[in-house]
Amino acid sequence: MQDNVMSMNLPLSQMSEIQAQMKTLEHIQIAPNPMTVNQANSVNFTDVISQSLNSVDLQGKEASALMTAVDTGKSDDLVGAMVASQKASLSFAALVQVRNKLLTAYDDVMKMPV
């Protein structure tokens, strides 16, 4: 019986500690989101897409080089080569999905009545 009382007091004491921590954190102000775009810090869409394409291409080339090194016996890091290959594959698949969404959005805009 005494164990049950002790186990019930433990969550209550933890809750009071959390409430005390929350009261001390109430006065902290959260900084604005740095990802918001304003006039002084605008983002160029072409640059973002170009950087993404270059990044995906670079990942693919690195994965290919690692796989070639393993195939020719210059490297024993099969796991690293496979991980790099999977990363390149995932980034390419994500890029294709973004492309598909952009094309769908473009088609939707073109089908809008004027």
**Cα–Cα distance for residue pair 78/64, rounded to 1 Å:** 12
Helices (H) and strands (E) in the chain, counts: 3, 0
Q: Which two tokens stand for residue 90?
A: 């995932």
User: Percentage of the chain with pLDDT > 90?
Assistant: 54
- For the chain, residues with pLDDT lower than 50 are 1-8
Q: What is the pLDDT of residue 43?
A: 84
Amino acid code (one letter) for 39 = Q
Q: The pTM is what?
A: 0.59
Q: What is the pLDDT of residue 23?
A: 62
Q: What is the pLDDT of residue 5?
A: 47
Q: Which two tokens stand for residue 52?
A: 């993404």
Q: What is the pLDDT of residue 110?
A: 93
